[in-house]
Every structure is written in C-alpha cells, then in structure tokens.
Chains A and B, each alone.
Chain A
Amino acid sequence: MSSSTPQALESYLARLDRALSAVAVSERAEIVTEIKSHVLSALERDNGTNVEDVLDSLGEPETVASRYLLERGLKPAKPPRTGILKWIVTLFLGTGFLIVLGIGILVWKFTPLIKIDDKNERVTILGGLIDIDGKSGSFKAGDLSMGFDENSKRLTGSKPLDPKKYDDILVPFSNGRVAVRSSGDGSFRWDCRLGENGDNANVQFHDRSIEIDLSRANAADCELWVPQGINLKLNGVNGRVKLLRPAAFVAVQLSNGVVQIEPDPALKYKYELKTTNGKMDNFESSSEPGAIPLNVTIVNGRIEREAGETYDLGN
C-alpha cells in the first residue's frame, strides 16, 4: 500500500460524505467506511496500482453518492455549494431585487410626472404634457399653448375689505402664476393678465367672502394685495404661487407646480406644509399664539423658500 496517498482518499471520502448529506448519519458512515475499505482492499490486492487509479475507477464521489440516493428513492445530490455561500447568494439576489424594485417605483412615480428647472423657472409635468414657463408667463397644456401679449385681457380692481364683514378671499385658478403681497391700506387689490379665455374670469362677491375665479381663464398671471385680517385661499392646478411676506392666514392647495414663500423676518409663522411627490425647503414653524398660519398642500411639486430680493417696496 502506498503511504503517500491518504490525502487523496480522505478528500474523496469527505466529498462523498458531503454529497450524501440527505442520508442518515449512521448509514452515511457505513457507506463511507465501505468505500474506504474497497479502496484499501484494491490497493492491497495489486501493488502496482495507486489510489488515484482506484478512485478514478470508482468515479466522482458526487456521482457515486447520487447512485446511493437514487437506489433509496431520494433526489440525487446537487452540485456542492456550502451553506454560507448559498445564503450569501440568496441575500445578494434578494437585496438586488428589492433595490431594483424600489428604484423602479421611484422612477415611475417621479420622472414622468414633474420636472422643475430652477434656472429657467420652468415646470414640466407629465413628461411635457403641461409646461409652465415662469419667466415668460406662457403655458402649454397638451396642444394648447398660451401667452400674454399686449392684447391680453386684464382683470384689475380694488375693494376695501373690512375684516368684520369679510372672512375670506377665494382664488381658484388653473395654469397660472399668482403673487401675493400684503396690502398696507386695508383694501384688497388685484391685477391679473389673462389668457385667451380671459372673459371667463370674474369677480364674485359672496356673503362673507370675495372670489376671483380664474379657473376657466386657462391662463392667468396675477398679483394680489391682501389686507390684514382676511384669509386668502388659493386653489390651483398647474402653476406657481409666490407668497411674499404674508401678514395674514394663507391656505394654498396646488396640484403640479411650485409654491415659493418669502417670510417676513419681523413675523412668526405657523407652517403646515405638505407635499406629495415632491420636496420642500426647511421652514421654522413657530408655536407662538400670534404666529400666522400658512397652510400649503402640494401634489407634484415643491415648496421653496424665497430669498427676499424680489420684494418690491413700490407695491
């Protein structure tokens, strides 16, 4: 018997043992011992032979093991893969799948819906279906394109509003820019440039509110001066709202667009800001009793903090 060979035999038997893991331990030990006995007997029988030849004649240990398993009606041994490697592979594939799924959902939710170009004040929604250009004040919704020229309709007016008689100013709009400032003299003023369907815009006086309905004007570029003590409620689709140093309660509901807030450094605000599919700058909310409530809810878009240079004292 050659003495330089136990290594090859031991490694063969170890592989056989591993491939037989589906078999009960006692039976497995019996099988491995018998194969070992066979190899040793074969070496005894023929001095000219070596362990490699005997093992070659037996065949791959996994093949031998699979015959044992087949004879027992068990599934043949799978290619060797250690337990830990199997877990790593499973974890890796599983994590990869979840990441791809997550990115897929994010891309699906955001990409086609809204694109905000800061430099050009441009908001593109639904992959360009609705395109709002803040600089020129033009709007495009589907194949409908809007702009303001010298012949644009204009809706202007002014009315003193006594906070004892009026609670709210309501401004529904679609496709528009609305800039809000506070009025120093207790009167409500409005100055709107309107698009093609500007005739549909109107001012309505209700019991305790005044409504500037721009929702059917298709496009509007408005400046509003709101007196203290009156709530302003803006409700719009596709647009940009600027709240410049607001001094009274403002509620904005906007689908698709941007709301910019320039807080008055002398005032405290109680912010309630919500975005769905979007993001917002950081605003410091005050819990003081005199804080002015600013409620902004936006779907597809964002809430930004305005720096303040744009504040026009002339108004």
Chain B
Amino acid sequence: MTLQLENWKTQIRRGYLELCILSAIRHADRLYGLELIEKLSEAGIPVKEGTLYPLLSRLTEDKLLASTWETEASKGHPRKFYSLTKSGTKILEEMRTEFDRMVATLDAFETETLRRLTPATRRN
C-alpha cells in the first residue's frame, strides 16, 4: 500500500471514526472504552486503544459525550461509561446528514460518468 493511500486513509478515517464512535454509543445508550473497541472491531472498524481513548477524551471535552465512573459490584475496579449529550446527539445527526450527502455526491459522479461512458463504448 502506498504512503499516499495511507495518508489519505488516516485523514478520512479521522472524521469517519468520530462519526462511528458517536453512532455506536448512541445505539448502545452507554458504553465503556473496551466495549466500544469491541463493538467497532465487530463492525469492521479496527481501532487502536491508544487512538480511541484520546479521542473519547476530546469528545468529552467538546461536550459531545458525557462520562460517569461506575463500579460494578462483582468487579473490583471502576469503569468509565460514555453516553451522548444533547448536543452530541444533535451533532451526530448533522454529521450523519453531511456524510450521507458526501457519499451521494460521489455516487452521482460515478453514475454520471457511467451514463456518459456507455454510448461511447457502444461506438467501438
């Protein structure tokens, strides 16, 4: 894989990952870090812990996520559970709309290109 493709992937994944994190937490209502990693991994979005926790920290700072420490009775140590705030939910919807629009635009390009290419191909 070329370095250029790697860079592009890193860039596009940044925004995409945020969207996926918010979406996963919303659908689970609340999650702690390790659970989130597992959910994302199952969905085919592998993410390193060293990347995820700093991102969760920043999303919390930006008030898109709220967190609470809870200690389950059977376990000895506390866990940090994340849930979406009101503004987090709102922004997630806007992000999703924007993301869908971008994908649709890209789709439109390709459909257009296909339509134009078809007659030309026929000539040969």
Q: Which residues of B contact A42 (CB under 8 A)?
A: 34
Q: Which residues of B contact A86 (CB under 8 A)?
A: none
Q: Mark B69-102, 1 if CB is under 8 A from A, else 0.
A: 1000001111110000000000000000000000
B58 touches A64 (CB 8 A): no
B77 touches A37 (CB 8 A): yes
Q: Mark A71-104, 1 if CB is under 8 A from B, else 0.
A: 1100000000000000000000000000000000
Place the interface of chain B in its size category.
Answer: 20 to 34
* A52 adjacent to chain B (CB < 8 Å): no
B51 nearest CB across to chain A (Å): 6
**Cα–Cα, bound, A33→B58 (Å):** 16
- Minimal Cβ-Cβ distance residue in A for B59: A71
B79 touches A41 (CB 8 A): yes
- Most central of B55, B58, B61 by chain A CB within 10 Å: B58
B33 touches A59 (CB 8 A): no
**Cα–Cα, bound, A64→B50 (Å):** 5
| A40-B54 contact in complex given A45-B34, A59-B48, C-beta closer than 8 Å | no
A71 touches B55 (CB 8 A): yes
**Cα–Cα, bound, A72→B59 (Å):** 10
Within 8 A of B (CB), among A31-82: 31, 33-38, 40-42, 44-45, 57-59, 63-64, 67-68, 70-72
Q: Which residues of A contact B77 (CB under 8 A)?
A: 36-37, 40-41
Q: Which residues of B contact A40 (CB under 8 A)?
A: 76-77
User: Which of B32, B34, B53 has a CB less than 8 Å from the CB of A64?
Assistant: B53
B53 touches A31 (CB 8 A): yes
Q: Mark B26-60, 1 if CB is under 8 A from A, else 0.
A: 00000011100000000000001111011101100
Q: Which residues of B contact A33 (CB under 8 A)?
A: 69, 78, 80
Q: Which residues of B contact A71 (CB under 8 A)?
A: 54-55, 57-58
**Cα–Cα, bound, A63→B80 (Å):** 22
User: Which of B53, B54, B75 has a CB less than 8 Å from the CB of A38?
Assistant: B53
Place the interface of chain A in its size category.
Answer: 20 to 34
| A44-B75 contact in complex given A34-B33, A71-B57, C-beta closer than 8 Å | yes
Q: Which residues of B contact A68 (CB under 8 A)?
A: 53-54, 57
B124 nearest CB across to chain A (Å): 53
- Minimal Cβ-Cβ distance residue in A for B77: A40
| A37-B54 contact in complex given A57-B49, A59-B48, A72-B61, C-beta closer than 8 Å | no
**Cα–Cα, bound, A57→B32 (Å):** 18
Q: Which residues of A contact B33 (CB under 8 A)?
A: 34, 37-38, 41
- Minimal Cβ-Cβ distance residue in B for A67: B54
B66 nearest CB across to chain A (Å): 13
Q: Which residues of B contact A44 (CB under 8 A)?
A: 75
Q: Which residues of A contact B75 (CB under 8 A)?
A: 44
Q: Mark A4-23, 1 if CB is under 8 A from B, else 0.
A: 00000000000000000000
Q: Which 5 A-B pairs have the closest CB atoms?
A: A71-B58, A67-B54, A59-B50, A68-B54, A41-B34
Can you give 23 A-B contacts (C-beta < 8 A)? A33-B80, A34-B53, A37-B33, A37-B77, A37-B79, A40-B76, A41-B32, A41-B34, A41-B79, A57-B49, A58-B50, A59-B49, A59-B50, A64-B50, A64-B54, A67-B50, A67-B51, A68-B54, A68-B57, A71-B54, A71-B55, A71-B57, A72-B61
B interface list, Cβ under 8 A from A = 32-34, 48-51, 53-55, 57-58, 61, 69, 75-80
Extra pairs beyond A41-B33, A64-B50, A68-B53 (17, CB < 8 Å) = A27-B57, A31-B57, A37-B33, A37-B77, A37-B79, A37-B80, A40-B76, A41-B32, A45-B34, A59-B49, A64-B53, A64-B54, A67-B50, A67-B54, A68-B54, A68-B57, A71-B55
